[in-house]
Amino acid sequence: MRIAKISPQPNRVLSIVADDGRIGNFDVSSYLKYEAFEALQDHTEFLKVFNGGYFVEWDCGADLSADTIEARWQVVGETAPQTTA
Q: Is residue 38 within 8 Å of residue 32, measured between CB atoms?
A: yes
pLDDT score recorded for residue 80? 66
* 10 or 7, higher pLDDT: 7
Per-domain residue ranges of the chain = 3-78
The DSSP symbol for 50 reads E
CATH number for 3-78: choose from 3.40.120, 2.60.40, 3.40.50, 3.30.2020: 3.30.2020
* pLDDT score for 79: 84
Task: For residue 4, name the pLDDT band (cuts at 50, 70, 90).
Answer: very high
Residues 20-79: tens digit of each pLDDT: 999 999 999 999 999 999 999 999 999 999 999 999 999 999 999 999 999 999 999 998
Rounded to two decimals, the pTM is: 0.88
Cβ atoms of 15 and 75 within 8 Å: the answer is no
